[in-house]
Amino acid sequence: MEALTNRLKPVDRRKMNFWERIYLPAVVKGLSITLKHFFKKKVTINYPEEVRPFSPVFRGLQILNRDEEGRENCTACGLCALACPAEAITMECAERKPGEEHLYREEKYAAKYEINMLRCIFCGLCEEACPKDAVYLSETFAPANYQRKGFIYGKKDLLIPDPKTDPEGFAKAKGSRIKHPQGHGNEH
Amino acid sequence: MYQNQILLAIDWILFTEKLVLIIVVVMVSLFVAMYSTYAERKVAAFMQDRIGPNRAGPFGILQPMADGLKLFFKEEIVPNFSSKFLFILGPILAMLTAIMVSAVIPWGDKLFIFGREVTLQIADINIGILYIFGVVSLGVYGIMIGGWASNNKFSLLGAMRAASQIISYELALGITLIALLMITGTLSLNEMVAQQKDNLWNIFLQPLGFLIFLICAFAETNRTPFDLPEAENELMGGYHAEYSSMKLGFYLFAEYVNMFLSGAVMTTLYFGGYDIPFVNDANLVHIIGQNWVTIIEGGVFFIKICLFIFFFMWVRWTVPRFRYDQLMNLGWKILLPLALFNMLVTGALILLRQNHWHF
Amino acid sequence: MEITQILFWFLSALALFGAIGVVASKNPIYSVLCLIIVFFAISGHYVLMNAQFLAIVNIIVYAGAIMVLFLFVIMLMNLNAETEPMKNVYMKLAGVISGLTLMIVLVAALSHSDSANTLMRPGTSVGLTENLGKALFNQYVVPFEISSVLFLSAMVGAILIGKKDVVKNRI
């Protein structure tokens, strides 16, 4: 068989010579290797204080977006649910009543929006499918929970903080990366 | 005079002095053992490019307290079909035999307190090294009794392994000691240290002997690569598989106490005990006084022991565990003949020296 | 009473209770542990007689090595009270008679001995390592060496028995 890499090394079955048989040089060599590692730079990241930087294509927990005035983008069109290969998304739509214009951007909105985080495979197809830039994947991941029902994220878990009342939270949830450089949906 | 001695005619000052010394030595042993667990985890972490425990207190130095507290709060479980008395006796014996070694080790020279000369050795018996040997040979009982009383096949296997391993390596250990005793001509540890203070350390006279002694010390303390009695992956903890709570803690602790004290024994026998290297202790006494020298000597002794403890850990995270037949081969077919050879060579050289190097 | 006397009585009682325990306990493991207690008591007696070397060698060899092997074998064979076969009355009677005979012999021998002179006085240094070694290697060197040859032959015999099958297969 032809070797795929040049790292192939045949097993050495020669008889060991005296120095190899007493093993002590090998043990000393091993000790020197571990001692070298003793003084090496440590790779540990102290998690809650330090966070490993995410890859720019990282796909984390979904969030439901708002526009600059704090209105929900989602119109409950159901395209994300349709696109979802794991069938993790369900929603119920409702019509916007007069006087709710400051809450929802368009006439239709999602009264209920649920993502089952146990089913979700974080493929990002919902984000691709959304015509309103309403759902996209953020830079965090779903924290542990004690119960299965805790992983069914409702609207209150998914909605991004209001940019008017909590601009810091909004910026944090939105993340530092530009998600859609080419832009699609209803952007200004 | 001897016949007229009445009951409890004890030198009370000597009694208190020794009592204080015993308490201090036991406390220091336990303290070192406690921090050995911390050091072990740190050393392991550092050798694997990690940081290790760093949450309990600054740099994690309160970690041993947290571990101890955890062990205390764990549920005590005694297996139903085990002998309860022996089950409890096991860890007690393991701890007892571990600590008993500290009685004959000279921790330093003499101190002068309130005009009294206090020797920093609990008992300077003239069979010192044999006493250590005897206590070490008893150490296996804690493991055997505990392993048997657990009424568990894996525990029993661990106990059997421990017994055969310790007996096998004790032979080589004993014969190495004979070679050492030929050189020193005394069994008293205190005198051995005194000899090494003035002359070369015994390591330079007995390098092969020290190597064998070191390997046997690893085997006697059940440290990797000789930790077959408690092999986690084959025997799920071996002899302490059924133990929980502080009974388990005692077994684990006894191992670290053993490590500390075997470091102390090796230092005493081969590395000059509390001798300060490159310094003439007798001259130093004239300069800064006996008490200060003794304190420095104690510190130096402690540092030497700590280096040994580090070495124990270093080896643990480097060398993998032996297979059982390899262990027995090493003990019986390599170390024992080597120890005998070492003894013969030592004897021949001593004879030659007595004849002024004439055959 | 002196403290050495108290210790003497204590150790004697311990040795006797241990010895009774060896015979009386149903579980062989307890028997072995009782035997270890007996060895410790005897070592204590040696220490009282200032024979420290004998005391510690007794512990190293008997308590530390031989008893461990005993324990080893008993644990591996998994002997316990249930598997012990019932001995019939005649066997028990024979045991009692032979035990009593041995006791009579011992008592007779001890009652005629000059115990006041042969007993080791505390404070002598005969039992110390140096003196013992000198006595063994000067006065008793021939019996000492002969006994070591005896041990060697026993060891060779043991290995031969252990390797019996291998030898047969080779032939």
What's the alpha-carbon Rg for chain B, to the nearest Å? 22
Which residue type sits at A81? Answer: A
Among the partner residues C33, C75, C122, nearest to B159 by beta-carbon distance: C75
Give the distance from CA C3 to its chain's centroid. 26
Q: B4-61: per-residue pLDDT in tens?
A: 444 455 677 778 888 888 898 888 888 888 888 888 888 888 888 888 888 888 888 8
- Residues 125 through 164 of chain B touching chain C, CB cutoff 8 Å: 125-127, 130-131, 133-134, 137-138, 140-141, 144-145, 148, 156, 159-160, 163-164
The 3-state secondary structure of chain A, one letter per residue: CCCCCCCCCCCCCCCCCHHHHCCHHHHHHHHHHHHHHHCCCCCCCCCCCCCCCCCCCCCCCEEECECCCCCECCCCCCHHHHHCCCCCEEEEEEECCCCCCCCECCCEEEEEEEEECCCCCCCCHHHHHCCCCCEEECCCCCCCCCCHHHHEECHHHHECCCCCCCHHHHHHHHCCCCCCCCCCCCCC
Q: Are residues C135 and C145 in the same domain?
A: no
Q: How many domains does chain C divide into?
A: 2
Å from C97 to nearest chain B CA?
34
Tell me if C59 and B144 make a contact (CB, 8 A cut-off).
no
For B107-132, what is the mean pLDDT?
78
Query: For residue A24, what is the nearest residue in chain B, using CA coordinates?
Result: B211
Whether there are 3 or more C-beta pairs closer than 8 Å between A and B is: yes
Is any Cβ of chain C less than 8 angstroms from the Cβ of B101?
A: no
Is C2 within 8 Å of B156 when comparing Cβ atoms?
A: no
Asked if omega into A25 is within 30° of 0 (cis), the reply is: no
In contact, A109 and A94? CB cutoff 8 Å: yes
What is the mean pLDDT for each group of 10 consecutive residues in chain A (188 residues)? 78 82 85 88 83 79 84 87 89 86 84 89 87 83 83 85 79 64 43
Residues C50, C9 share a domain: yes
Specify whether C108 is located in the same domain as C161. no
Alpha carbon of B300: minimum distance to chain C alpha carbons (Å): 31
pLDDT digits (tens, 9 = 90+) for C102-148: 999 989 888 877 665 555 555 566 667 778 888 888 888 999 899 99
The single-letter code of the amino acid at C69 is: L
CA distances from A99 to A136, A157, A159 (A): 28, 25, 21
Q: Answer whether B314 sits within 8 Å of A37, measured CB to CB.
A: no
* pLDDT above 80 (res C86): no
User: Could you tell me the two tokens for A47?
Assistant: 């998690």
Q: What is the pLDDT of residue C97?
A: 93
A16-31: pLDDT as tens digits: 888 877 788 888 898 8
**Cβ B163–C72 below 8 Å, yes or no?**
yes
* Candidates B51, B315, B317; nearest CB to A42: B51
Q: Are the beta carbons of A35 and B43 separated by less than 8 Å?
A: no
Task: Tell whether B69 is within 8 A of chain A (Cβ).
Answer: no
- Per-residue confidence (pLDDT) for residue B359, from 0 to 100: 67
C146 plus C102 within the same structural domain: no
What integer is the mean pLDDT of C2-7? 79
Cα C33 from Cα A154, distance rounded (Å) = 68
Confidence of residue B3 (pLDDT cuts 50, 70, 90): very low
Q: How many CB pairs below 8 Å do chains B and C form together?
A: 76
Contacts of B138 in chain C (CB under 8 A): 59, 63-64
Q: Which residue of C has its CA nearest to B157?
A: C76
End-to-end CA distance of chain A: 61
- Collapsing DSSP states into helix, strand and coil, what is residue C52? helix
DSSP letter at B279?
S
Nearest CA in chain B to C53: B127
Contact list, A31 vs chain B (CB under 8 Å)? 314-315, 318
Choose the mutation target among C68, C121, C126 for the interface with B, i.e. most B CBs under 10 Å. C68
**What burial letters (b/e) apply to B213-252, b meaning 16+ CB within 10 Å?**
bbbbbbbbbbbbbbbbbbbeeebebbbbbbbeebbbbbbb
Cα B228 from Cα B221, distance rounded (Å): 11
Instruction: Report whether B235 contacts B158 (CB < 8 A).
Output: yes
User: Residue C131 is part of which domain span?
Assistant: 3-139
- Asked whether the predicted pLDDT for residue B116 surpasses 80, the reply is no
pLDDT tens figures, B70-97: 888 888 888 777 678 888 888 888 889 8
**Residue contact A35–B314, C-beta within 8 A:** yes
The span from the CA of B219 to the CA of B239, in Å, is 16
**Fold classified for A62-174:** Alpha-Beta Plaits (3.30.70)
Q: Kindly indicate the confidence band of residue C164, based on its pLDDT and cuts at 50, 70 and 90.
A: low
Residue B231 has pLDDT above 50, yes or no: yes
Residue B178 predicted with pLDDT over 60: yes
Burial-class residue A132 by CB neighbours within 10 Å (0-12, 13-18, 19+). buried
> What are the pLDDT digits (tens) for B252-287?
888 888 888 889 888 888 888 787 877 777 777 777
DSSP code of residue B238: G
C1 to B125: CB separation less than 8 angstroms, yes or no: no
Please tell me the predicted confidence (pLDDT) of residue A176.
Answer: 64
**Residue C40: other Cβ atoms inside 10 A:** 20
For chain A, the structural domain boundaries read 62-174
Q: Do residues B77 and B242 lie in contact, with contact meaning Cβ atoms separated by under 8 Å?
A: yes
Distance CA B309, CA B25 (A): 17
Identify the pLDDT of residue B79.
79
CATH of the domain at C118: 1.20.120.1200
Which residue out of B319, B322, B326, B334 would a mutagenesis test of the A interface target, given it has the greatest number of A Cβ atoms within 10 Å? B319
Say yes or no: C124 and C152 in one domain.
Answer: no
pLDDT at residue A188, rounded to an integer: 40
Q: How far is CA A183 from CA A79, A82, A161, A176, B308, in A?
A: 18, 22, 22, 16, 65
Q: Percentage of residues in chain C with pLDDT exceeding 70?
A: 81
Same domain, C42 and C76: yes
Residues of C in contact with B160 (CB under 8 A): 72, 75-76
| pTM confidence score | 0.79
Q: Please, which residues have CB within 8 angstroms of residue A117's CB and are 6 or more apart in sequence?
A: A61, A88, A142, A151, A152, A153
